[in-house]
């Protein structure tokens, strides 16, 4: 039998953590690639600039053969992020979310309103995974919430 996982510094390292102080939130979304391809075909640059970050637009333009598949993943990631941030209404926050691909992992950068909302909710870390195939893209976002940073309200 394997030894149980113990934090660096021993079990006492967990002692200062208040029970119920931390929580995890998860958001998931799926996006059809063909729908994105259709939007690109009809609305072109207006579709891109209303939803995506300029770096994502640059990537899509320089990789036209995989643009729809790539953008479907970025869109699904945005929707997963809105769920994690518990934003139910404000679609304009899409453009405040930038998802970077670093080797095989993803990193999320939040700007302006999205950043303010995340800070206000005590979100300290966000993990993201995106999977794409020919027909659809799926994204899963996981956030760590520190209720102490949220101002003590749970």
Cβ proximity of 54 and 92 under 8 Å: no
Q: How far is CA 98 from the centre of its chain?
A: 8
17, 23, 35, 135: which one binds another protein (CB under 8 A) = 35
Closest separation between CB of residue 37 and another protein, Å? 12
CB of 44 to another protein, least distance (A): 10
How many residues interact with another protein (rule CB under 8 A)? Answer: 19
Query: Pattern of binders to another protein over 91-110, x per CB under 8 A?
Result: xx------------------
- Residue closer to another protein by CB (options 80, 108) is 80
By beta-carbon proximity to another protein, the closer residue of 41 and 154 is: 41
The helix/strand/coil state of 96 is helix
Residue from 3, 12, 18, 89 that binds another protein (CB under 8 A)? 89
Distance CA(152)–CA(146), nearest Å, equals 9
Please give the full DSSP string across 40-51, using - where no structure is assigned: HHHHHHHHHHHH
CA distance 53 to 83: 19
Nearest to 145 by CA among 29, 21, 27: 21
Q: How far apart are CA 59 and CA 67, in angstroms?
A: 8
Q: Does 39 bind another protein (CB under 8 A)?
A: yes
Name which of 38 and 58 has its Cβ closer to another protein: 38
Closer residue to another protein (CB): 91 or 100: 91
32 DSSP β-pair partners: 136
Q: Is 43 in the site for another protein (CB under 8 A)?
A: yes
Please give the residue ranges that form the binding site for another protein (CB under 8 A): 31-32, 35-36, 38-39, 42-43, 46-47, 50-51, 75, 79, 88-92
């Amino acid at each position: 039998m394997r030894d149980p996982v113990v934090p660096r510094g021993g079990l006492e390292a967990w002692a200062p953590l208040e029970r119920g102080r931390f929580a995890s939130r998860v958001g998931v979304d799926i996006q059809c690639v063909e729908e994105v391809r259709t939007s690109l075909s009809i609305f072109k640059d207006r579709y891109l600039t209303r939803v995506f970050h300029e770096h994502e637009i640059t990537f899509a333009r320089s990789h036209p053969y995989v643009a729809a598949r790539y953008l479907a993943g970025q869109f699904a990631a945005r929707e997963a992020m809105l769920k994690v941030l518990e934003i139910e209404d404000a679609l304009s926050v899409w453009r405040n979310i930038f998802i970077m691909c670093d080797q095989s992992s993803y990193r999320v950068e939040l700007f302006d309103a999205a950043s303010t909302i995340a800070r206000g909710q005590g979100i300290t870390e966000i993990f993201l995974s995106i999977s794409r195939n020919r027909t659809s893209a799926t994204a899963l976002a996981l956030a760590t919430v520190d209720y102490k940073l949220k101002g003590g309200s749970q």
